[in-house]
Structure 1
């Protein structure tokens, strides 16, 4: 699974568009987009350094970097792992609003070096004297600016299609925050096991569908979410959820008109997005207000479950999702 948020055609590009237009105030130059899709590390004989294998090749990085700058989608995953960057690119207010207080404090303490979807001030970046730069944005942007970043400090680059667990592993190794990663992995495994054990019969005998709607969605449309947090429910927990045929675009890419809401009646349980307080997320409110939604058997019988998913690109927010899912499943009628 890639480390992008819940997506349809617009949503699948949402993360990419945050950084796709990245332009440095200095001229870019051609870069090398070669290397493994999944970053790996190995020990190096050189004292105080180790090698990280990423999409831009094998990079020699400090074993214990002190001044790390994060660009694009590496900001919040690094902070989630306990990292304290000295420089960051801008994150949306909606992303910052769901962060734990200490993580938001760590983000706000860093120097803003530009917008993830606009400009990075190369002079401001260099003035921070980073000893490591962590980057995730599109390969096209890397080809334009990668060499400029590498001229400032060792730079590790991941593309947008990097699977989220591999992404967490790679950031932890490069940024020297593996202790936190180990704890998060243990908590993740524990929560997955708990849900499977507690709701095993429901999981085995229930058809689920995850539906959503984003602020990018056309008026009067929704989509079936088969990637993002619902992918965790399907692939890691074992939910019976619809997904696209192999080789086809995700179902989440297709906008469905409200007239098709009634077709959700074929599923036993419906999950839909809510905020941290359990309210339907603002873009999804038009769906729950329709008479067609209110008439669905799952809605009328209490089997439409609001689930909070703050993100799916690092373990912290995914664990929050699992907690919310656990609580939602506990409300199913007849659950003991």
Structure 2
């Protein structure tokens, strides 16, 4: 994750997942980096942002295709069987890709732990470990170390977090896995369903109601913009719910904004989505200042698990869509 992780986040990465207090604010994808299955059936297929495409009709006799990556064309297996994913692993899981190695953030995410049994945990810091897995494809972040060494082990696709939006990224992973149609079908289906849920929510809470996405560690609170995981893409971009003006002013650009306890009430919307880091307790939650925030006092707080909400891949997005639908439609 590029700067902080608390998916977010934070991924991004609202990257997440979480290593101590900082991991919960990390970029949604830069550490896995930051949201399954395909269409209605498998609910697995589209999320977080970068670039590239497969050139149609370029499969060679050796079973490779030319993928137009952000760093130029690269020959990759037409149907990769042994993928090491140092980033975008959740997107690959959502499409049933054949993984042999993933980053620690994804492995520690409760939405993926069971899906990644018997998969090795790897890091770009240890190319020898990756070499031992005999990958036929590596997917890495442009911020990572040892990219030259990784490219000597296997074809290495490099993504820069944020170059594409969270849905376009899933389509890119679909191209890599020769499952572009499946990825695209999920994007279209999920978009339709999520927008419909958004309309249901607005009919209940009012079209002018505001929603804040907040997160805490042991010392601070954070308010998120519209592209830092924690469901922010879903709430603000897809459902088009309203962000409080203060949050819009301070968090929309950088992705998140650190709050002191004194000013936190100014950033609280009519409804609050509270990303809770189970590894960190914040005494402010017991304070009268917190309890007297109207959304808190009126029971209009929806809680999500930081560790399970720090990506924007299909599995995470499907998980959060249900939480938001059930939560908003049942709140007073």
Match of 1:135 in 2: 140
Aligned counterparts of 1:7 and 1:88: Cα–Cα separation in 2: 16
- What is the aligned length? 292
Are the structure 2 counterparts of residues 121 and 7 from structure 1 closer, same or farther at C-alpha, using a change threshold of 3 Å? closer
1:13-162 aligned within 5 A: 16=30, 37-43=50-56, 44=58, 46-47=60-61, 48-70=63-85, 72-91=86-105, 94-95=108-109, 97-99=110-112, 101=114, 103=115, 107-112=116-121, 114-115=122-123, 119-122=125-128, 124-138=129-143, 141=144, 145-162=146-163
Aligned counterparts of 2:157 and 2:326: Cα–Cα separation in 1: 38
**RCO comparison, higher one (Cα < 8 Å, 6+):** 2
Are the structure 2 counterparts of residues 186 and 79 from structure 1 closer, same or farther at C-alpha, using a change threshold of 3 Å? same
1:1-336 aligned within 5 A: 4-6=12-14, 11-12=25-26, 16=30, 37-43=50-56, 44=58, 46-47=60-61, 48-70=63-85, 72-91=86-105, 94-95=108-109, 97-99=110-112, 101=114, 103=115, 107-112=116-121, 114-115=122-123, 119-122=125-128, 124-138=129-143, 141=144, 145-162=146-163, 163-178=165-180, 180-182=182-184, 184-201=186-203, 202=205, 204-214=207-217, 219=219, 221-226=220-225, 227-228=228-229, 229-242=231-244, 243-245=247-249, 249-250=253-254, 252=256, 254-264=257-267, 267-274=269-276, 281-283=278-280, 285-308=282-305, 310-333=309-332
Aligned counterparts of 2:234 and 2:280: Cα–Cα separation in 1: 22
Match of 2:39 in 1: none
Under a length normalisation based on structure 1, what TM-score does the superposition of the two structures give? Answer: 0.74
Contact 1:268/1:298 (CA < 8 Å) preserved in 2? yes
Deviation at 1:327, TM superposition (A): 0.9
What do the CA deviations read for 1:270-307 (whole angstroms, capped 9, x no partner)?
Answer: 22125xxxxx7453653422211111222122222224
Contact 2:100/2:119 (CA < 8 Å) preserved in 1? yes
Q: Which has the larger radius of gyration?
A: 1
Are the structure 2 counterparts of residues 17 and 7 from structure 1 closer, same or farther at C-alpha, using a change threshold of 3 Å? closer
Deviation at 1:179, TM superposition (A): 5.8
**Segment of structure 1 superposing worse, 180-189 or 317-326:** 180-189
Aligned counterparts of 2:281 and 2:236: Cα–Cα separation in 1: 22
Structure 1 stretches of 5 or more lacking a match? 20-35, 275-279
Match of 1:31 in 2: none
Match of 1:25 in 2: none
Aligned counterparts of 1:321 and 1:129: Cα–Cα separation in 2: 35
What do the CA deviations read for 1:222-242 (whole angstroms, capped 9, x no partner)?
Answer: 121113222331111111114
Deviation at 1:187, TM superposition (A): 4.5
Contact 1:307/1:328 (CA < 8 Å) preserved in 2? no
Classify the secondary structure of the residue corresponding to 2:139: strand
Are the structure 2 counterparts of residues 285 and 92 from structure 1 closer, same or farther at C-alpha, using a change threshold of 3 Å? farther
Aligned counterparts of 2:249 and 2:294: Cα–Cα separation in 1: 27
Contact 2:127/2:149 (CA < 8 Å) preserved in 1? no
Classify the secondary structure of the residue corresponding to 1:199: helix
Higher helix share: 1
Structure 2 stretches of 5 or more lacking a match? 1-7, 34-48
Are the structure 2 counterparts of residues 284 and 249 from structure 1 closer, same or farther at C-alpha, using a change threshold of 3 Å? farther
CA RMSD of aligned residues (A): 3.3
